[in-house]
Amino acid sequence: MTKYLNQKLLERIEEKKKLLDKNRPLPRSVLEKLREQIIVEWTYNSNAIEGNSLTLRETKLVLEEGITVAGKSLREHFEATNHRDAILFLEKLIKNKKIKESDILKIHEIISKNIEKEYAGKYRRGMVRILGAKKLPPNYLKIPKLMKELYEWINKNPDRLNIVELASLAHYKFVAIHPHYDGNGRTARLLMNLMLMQNGYPPVIILKNDRKRYYNALRKADQGDYKPFVLLMAISIERSLDLYLRAIKEEKEEGLEPLSKIAKKTIYSQEYLSLLARQGKLSATKQGREWYSSLKAIKEYKEKRDRRR
């Protein structure tokens, strides 16, 4: 059942989720590649929505190489590394069955470290105004009670919403309460993803290119029209499912097999192929203790070797 979402779109999302579940457990090589990609893109887009000027490439360099980008502020660098660290912490919470207030406060503390030390992981103690919004956030004195009610609503789901709607509305409600001076949007998106990942969905990325649509949908939700916001979140969820399913398809098309099986189909021994894999001369991936490659990769290796002769 759906309350705010088109039934056909929900059914399509659920069908893709079933297909993803059917292919679990995913090969380690696929998971590692997707994880690296998502951490960078999630960090880049979430920060860019909030005004961070690091490009996708610069974000990747900061996170993976530890490089300081000339012309970019120290705060922008911290926003990148902090968000990455928040994702790593979030991954530890996936097995939890409930959303805990202390965990979300810890996420906010992580994304705020070295930036807003005084307010990191703490609720605001004053009034704020959201730029471009007509609706004022609630009085700061009400925040502890409102946040307690939010987490109770999430964990009990009295409206019996499907997880797509529940996570999307939790995202909106968090932003509407605006419990912190800064970092509310980033924390809300991490909260939504925690809920989705606890239910077996891949992480969802709200693209920088959708920034205008995202904020317009938030404003409409302020007026009681939640459908545009839930729709945008659902489209983003489907995009992530497509990303995972496409990676699985590509892996299968490559025809990856254990080297023990490939050796029986070629003139090479398993030991020799393993040596080539360890030396980086053969395109191969290690899953657990075993190397995997494909007949296509063997053919490419042989052609390169023959050309050198």
Q: Determine the average pLDDT of the residues in 71-92.
A: 98
User: What is the CATH number for 54?
Assistant: 1.10.3290.10
| Of 30 and 102, more confident | 102
Contact 166, 3 (CB under 8 A): no
What's this model's pTM, rounded to 2 decimal places? 0.83
User: What is the structure's pLDDT at 281?
Assistant: 82
Clarify whether residues 212 and 262 are in a common domain: no
Residue 28, domain member (yes or no):
yes
Domain containing 145: what range? 7-252
pLDDT tens digit string along 242-293? 999 988 887 776 667 889 999 999 999 999 998 988 888 887 777 667 888 8
Are residues 83 and 229 both part of a single domain? yes
**Long-range contacts (CB closer than 8 Å, 24 or more residues apart) made by 101-104:** 101/147, 101/148, 101/151, 103/194, 104/151, 104/187, 104/190, 104/191
| pLDDT, position 283 | 78
| Three-class DSSP category at 286 | strand
Query: CA 241 from chain center: how many Å?
Result: 11
Q: How far is CA 296 from CA 38, 94, 273, 289, 293, in A?
A: 28, 37, 13, 22, 8
- Residue 253 pLDDT: 64
Judgement on whether residues 71 and 125 belong to the same structural domain of the protein: yes
User: Is 92 in the same domain as 221?
Assistant: yes
Please give the full DSSP string across 22-72, using - where no structure is assigned.
HTPSPPHHHHHHHHHHHHHHHHHHHHHHTT----HHHHHHHHHH-PPPTTS
- Residues 295, 152 share a domain: no
Marked catalytic residue, from 83, 171, 178, 180: 178
Is 180 an active-site residue? no
What is the domain count for the chain?
2
Alpha-carbon distance of 120 to 123, in angstroms, equals: 8
Residue pair 284/247 in contact by the 8 Å Cβ criterion: no
- Choosing from 232, 252, 272, the residue where a domain stops is 252
**216/223 Cα distance (integer angstroms):** 11
pLDDT of residue 301: 85
pLDDT of residue 308: 66
